[in-house]
Structure 1
Amino acid sequence: MTNPNDRRLPRAVRSSMPLALDVIKEVAKQHGVCVQPIPVKRTDVQTGKTEVINIPCGATLASKCEPCANRAVQLRRAQCREGWHLEAEPVAGPAEPNDRQLWLVEERADAHVLRELEEEIGGDVAIWDEVITTLEDELAASGVRGSVIPGEGKPRRTRSTRRRQDAPDLPKRQRENRTVGRTFTAPDGRIHRPSLFITLTCDSYGKVRHDGTPVDPSTYDYVRAARDAIHFPKVVDRFVQNLRRVAGYDVQYFATVEPQRRLAPHLHMAVRGTMPRAEVKAVAAATYHQVWWPSGDVVRFEGDHLPVWVTDDLGDGQAGDYLDPRTGEVLPTWDQALDLLDADEAAQPFHVVRLGEQVDVKGVVAGSPGADLGLHYLTKYLTKSLTECHEATSDAQRAHVERLMNVLRYEPCAPSCSNWLRYGVQPKGAKAGMRPGSCRSKAHKPEHLGYAGRRVLVSRKWSGKTLAEHKQDRRAWVLEQLGLSATDDQARPVEPHRYLWRVVTPADHDVPPLAERLLKEIANRQRWRTALQQAQARADGRPIEDLSATGRAA
């Protein structure tokens, strides 16, 4: 057998042999072990013993950690499957407030009254503002959602709710207090409770070839494609609102976002319950979202001619402002730009996002091949970034990606985006050092293709459980298979105050190397899998196979 560490071997032969760490990582992937665990030190306050614990990195992309990404996808599949065809209403109501939350709200009420009294006598309210902020933070940390007084001190901008003349009207049905779908009785007496699988796309920006590249790049509307990608989450929200209005019940959904070959985002959506396909397509045709931002069509600053930051207080309430370096003109702040937009009766929205004409609606019944196929489509690309879903393999595809990214580089993605300086407007919360084209938002990164929203969208009453609760269900199933209960020593949750946890730093020289820690986790995984297999064999009355030699499942 050739020894790769034998120095007498030619260098070319040695360099072609795999590294030991790479081999260990491949074995770890086969056993579902995280390949880049986070080492932390755990100290038992009762015994004083300190040990290094490997915490899985929890990555959702296979390019970062394939085992963790696959585990996350399996969890999402379970979540989707459990909520798609529910027959009973899920229990998803808010929990009762505890004593601490009630006390914090009382303290918040007292602080609010004292602040008003201080303001009436012309005193300093800064200290009370600080107290209120602290109480709000403690309320949020205690598990209370939202603010006690939403938008306190901030007037809300309102827009006309009149529908656009170029969008069809939508019917409105009386709302039923349910989230589950209706049942239908077949001629043979069987009862079915069908649901829907919907696919939504963006509008067309020009003719494309089979590989997704434009037939004529010079006429392809890259600006509209970039803006649609940035604001796609908003139009999806509007579609769900309209769908609930037309359906007449509280529609629940599980949806995932992925790109088409032309790089435009599109949505696969599992919907609980059913409605006529024609109505779903009518809802998609009538759905739009208007973005009321200042104009971004005229470039005022680029190249060496960029706004200059000054720290002098010019009376507009900011600590600094951006000026035109040639004229000394102060650029309008974000609020000032919106005020000018409100005052202009002929103003047009910055952008209007619409859904494309291609809307696919399929009926799905629980346990059917269509349900399995839907789950496959919903989770097919979740372990990949948007760019990895359809990798560019030709020069035309790479040029298409490059042209889109060149537009996205300078396209404003949010009120706080530094690209607003390019169009003569100070971003919201402007600060020194901002430059057009340097925004660090996900929308401008190639791996996101302009879409900065969440890849998985789940309604609150989908399954009546959080993702953490679904994970706990998986743990409970394993314990049940092993014949353990939550009160057993081996399965009992860790006491919260028994251990002290500390993240490992480079100064900790007693931490084992990655290869040694991975080997330990592989051995643990082999032992756990063997125990689970043997427990399942005993439950099924099958002979228990001796897996100690391999430690791996068949």
Structure 2
Amino acid sequence: MTGNVRSTPRAVRMAMPLAREVVDQLAISLGVCIRPVPMRCVDNAKGTARVVDIPCGATLESKCPPCAKRNLQLRKAQCREGWHLDHEPVIPASEPTDEQRYLVELRAQLQALRDQADQDGEDLAPWDDALAEVDADLRRSGLRGSVLGRTSTGRRRSTRRRQDAPDLPKRKKVSSTLGRVYESPDGQRFRPSMFITLTLPSYGRILDGAPLDPTAYDYRRAARDALHFSKLVDRFVQNLRRVAGWDVQYFATVEPQKRLAPHLHLAMRGTLSRAEIKQIAAATYHQVWWPQADRVVFDGETLPVWEDEVGYLDPRTGEVLPTWDQALDALTDEDAEPLHVLTFGDQVDAKGVLAGTPNADQVIRYLSKYLTKSIAETCDLDNPRQRDHADRMADALRYEPCSPTCPNWLRYGVQPKGAKPGQAPGQCRGKGHKPEHLGYPGRRVLVSRKWSNKTLTEHRADRRAWVLETLGLSATAGIDPNRYTWRPIPPGDPDLPPLGQRLLVEIANRQRWRALLAEHQAQADDTDLSATGERRRAA
């Protein structure tokens, strides 16, 4: 048989793999991004241009397995380097850029003009808009803080601790990010760290990841806890530093439990007693000071209507709905209650970890176990009971406000912050309302600023520098930042080769680089063995 395609039965041909699928599988096995972003690189010195595929940088395996794997290894390296740091990290302040200097000077001039207009009794709205635009540009430029210092909204919230939350001890603050050093009877000194797991309280009895009685399960509280979970984590870290007495550094990941509620795994530098960790968790809470969202004002049949230069109106009375700021101002009286109060559950796990031990490596793998999957992908949604549980959770989240700008506020008679035409309850595009996030809209990885004394970009540069050094190349020599110009290539560009063809080129390049890297590593190993033999003979 010659293998002619036409002589092959149709059923057999349909069962054969597609060529493009084989290319994708080979690219994934070699670590080549399968969703690259094409860019045109112009060499200003030679006047030539070429197409360069930039990895998409996806963090989820469902989108791009090679990029997700690279990001996972990067996070593992970040966690490992910072967890048992034995010296104080130093983060030098950067010099302000020319753009930042210009924006600060521009703001000073606009502020002076605005003050003069105020004295002359002129309309201040144009000046306020211009100042707000410059302030936004300052934040985008990377400048931290405000040029005006701390600003206040004029709203006062009681700072007295709730009576249902225990008080916390407070230690004298020391300027350090390192934990306590212990010394064993034989004189060895070591500095252990901790691994902490925190969960949310119960919303009802659970069996195999789903409520035993769905009608008794508190879905509203579960939805609000998920939406504001990151704020509760922030409060826990603040209390942790208050009790510890030093600037506690941490690397944390957020994952869902089998019951679909988010919980926290936190690697902490330094140690506290388990009793103190449990005391801190019990004393941590977060109050959500938002307008009330328990009484439905507008249902699906009657919705607010938009009127230009006015905002949303009640179609029954013609009255303008209170704005977000007006609704918050109404919460300043002493009888006001927060929309929601978050607390941790009773399950708190804390254990010590020593650097360089198998236990430390095991915990790092556990911390990063699900980072390449979305929150929904970590759950067994093939189980009908858990799938129905996830659907009920999505229904509870549908009309729950997720942020000040959420259109769901219209359902409760309040204009969302920055209201605009076309908004309607149940149509928010925020992450918290998407099924794959199960209500949690925050980041999956939470890292303190002084954890490893490096940014994620610097960790990535370290990995690149190691590869170049192994190949005998320099990561910095001969680089002219002004030589190349990068331009995005729009879809449908006739000069852009098909994606399959570009992937084949990257596969060939990756195979060549891997072979070259293996060759240089083998030469380095031979050199090390020769040097070891020379030292032994000399000894």
Mark yes or no: TM-score above 0.5: yes
Quote the offset at 1:395 in angstroms: 1.4
Counterpart of 2:303?
306
**TM-score for both structures, normalised by structure 1:** 0.91
Moved more, 367-376 or 159-168: 367-376
Q: Is the 8 A contact 1:537 1:543 kept in 2?
A: no
Change (3 A) 1:134 1:234: closer
Return the match for 2:467 from 478, 490, 495.
Answer: 478
Counterpart of 1:506 (choices 491, 496, 507) is: 491
The CA distance in 1 between the partners of 2:432 and 2:441, in whole Å, is 5
206, 211, 215: which one pairs with 2:212? 215
Instruction: Give TM-score, length-normalised by structure 2.
Output: 0.94
Q: Give the superposition deviation at 1:220.
A: 0.5
Which residue of 2 is the match for residue 361 of structure 1?
350
- d(CA) in 2 for partners of 1:12 and 1:149? 73
2:421 aligned partner: 432
Between the aligned partners of 2:391 and 2:23, the Cα distance in structure 1 is 37
| Residue 329 (structure 1) shift | 3.2
Q: Give the superposition deviation at 1:190.
A: 1.6
In structure 1, distance between residues paired with 2:317 and 2:110:
47
Structure 1 residues 134 and 235 mapped into 2: Cα distance closer, same or farther (>3 Å)? closer
What is the percentage of aligned positions where both structures have the same residue? 61
Question: Counterpart of 1:62 in 2: which secondary structure?
Answer: coil
RMSD over aligned Cα atoms: 2.1
Q: How many residues align?
A: 529
Q: In the alignment, which residue of structure 2 is the partner of 1:26?
A: 25
CA deviation after TM superposition for structure 1 residue 303, in Å = 2.1
What's the counterpart of residue 535 of structure 2?
A: none
Distance 2:284 2:29 in 1: 45
Q: Does 1:320 align with 2:310?
A: yes
Name the counterpart of 1:54: 53
Corresponding residue of 2:536? none
- Which 4+ stretches in 1 moved above 6 angstroms? none
Structure 1 counterpart of 2:379, which letter? H
**In 2: Cα distance, 1:128 partner to 1:295 partner:** 34
Tell me by how many angstroms 1:137 deviates: 5.1
Is the 2:166–2:282 contact (alpha carbons within 8 Å) kept by the matching residues of 1?
Answer: yes
Q: Is contact 2:231–2:286 with CA below 8 Å preserved after alignment?
A: yes
Aligned counterpart, 1:550: none
CA distance in 2: counterparts of 1:384 and 1:12, whole angstroms: 35
Residue 54 of structure 1, CA deviation = 0.5
Whole-angstrom distance in 1 between the partners of 2:184 and 2:362 = 23
- Structure 2 partner of 1:336: 326
With over 3 angstroms needed to count, the CA separation of the structure-2 counterparts of 1:296 and 1:134, relative to structure 1, is closer
Q: Does 1:197 align with 2:195?
A: yes
Q: 1:276 offset after TM fit, Å?
A: 0.6
Distance 1:332 1:138, change over 3 A: closer
Q: Name the residue aligned to 1:547.
A: none
Q: 1:2 to 1:525 in 2, by over 3 A?
A: farther
What displacement does 1:148 show?
1.5
Q: Deviations over 1:253-299 (max 9, x none)?
A: 00000100000000000000001110011000000000111111111
Q: How far off is 1:8 after superposition?
A: 2.8
Conserved? CA contact 2:235–2:284, under 8 Å: yes
Q: Which residue type is aligned with residue 171 of structure 2?
A: R
- On the 8 A contact 2:179/2:191 being kept in 1, the answer is yes
Q: Which amino acid aligns with 1:330?
A: V
Equivalence map 1:382-461=2 (5 Å): 382-461=371-450
Equivalence for 2:370 = 381
Task: After TM superposition, give the deviation of residue 323 of structure 1 in Å.
Answer: 2.3
Q: 466-475 vs 40-49, which deviates more?
A: 40-49
Q: Equivalents in 1 of 2:488, 2:106: separation in Å?
A: 35
Does residue 257 in structure 1 map to residue 254 in structure 2? Answer: yes
1:214/1:194 CA distance change after superposition, 3 Å:
same
Unaligned runs of 5+ in 2: 530-539
The separation in 2 between residues aligned to 1:162 and 1:388, in whole angstroms, is 41
Q: Distance in 2 between matches of 1:56 and 1:195?
A: 35
8 A Cα contact 2:155 2:329, kept in partner: no
Task: Show the counterpart of 2:508.
Answer: 523
Structure 1 unmatched runs, 5+: 312-318, 545-554
- The superposition leaves residues 155-202 of structure 1 with CA deviations (integer Å, 9 ceiling, x where unpaired) of 342201000000000011101110011111112222111000000111
Residue identity in the other structure for 1:206: G
Q: 2:198·2:345 contact (CA, 8 Å) conserved in 1?
A: yes
Q: Check 1:450–1:142 CA distance in 2 against 1; reply closer, same or farther (3 A cut).
A: closer
2:454 to 442, 460, 465: 465
Give the Å deviation of 1:226: 0.2
Change (3 A) 1:473 1:265: same
Structure 2 match to 1:231: 228
Return the alpha-carbon distance in structure 2 between the equivalents of residues 536 and 475 of structure 1. Answer: 15
CA-CA distance at 1:370 after TM superposition: 1.6
> Which residue number corresponds to residue 549 of structure 1?
none
Cα 1:156–1:63 change in 2 (3 A) is farther
Contact 1:39–1:52 (CA under 8 A) maintained in structure 2: yes
How far is the alpha carbon of 1:47 from its aligned partner? 2.2
More displaced 10-residue stretch of structure 1: 80-89 or 39-48: 39-48
Can you list the C-alpha shifts for 1:454-500, whole angstroms capped at 9, x where unaligned?
00000001011111111111112112212222354xxx44x333223
Alpha carbons of structure 1 residues 38 and 99: separation in structure 2 relative to 1, 3 Å = closer
Residue in structure 2 matched with residue 10 of structure 1 by the alignment: 9
CA distance in 1, matches of 2:436, 2:346: 27
Residues 320 and 431 of structure 1 are in contact (CA less than 8 Å); yes or no, is this contact kept in structure 2? no
Further displaced range: 411-420 or 264-273: 411-420
Judged with a 3 Å threshold, the aligned counterparts in structure 2 of structure 1 residues 37 and 131 are, in CA distance, closer, same or farther, namely same
User: Kindly tell me: are residues 378 and 304 of structure 1, through their superposed partners in 2, closer, same or farther at Cα, counting changes over 3 Å?
Assistant: same
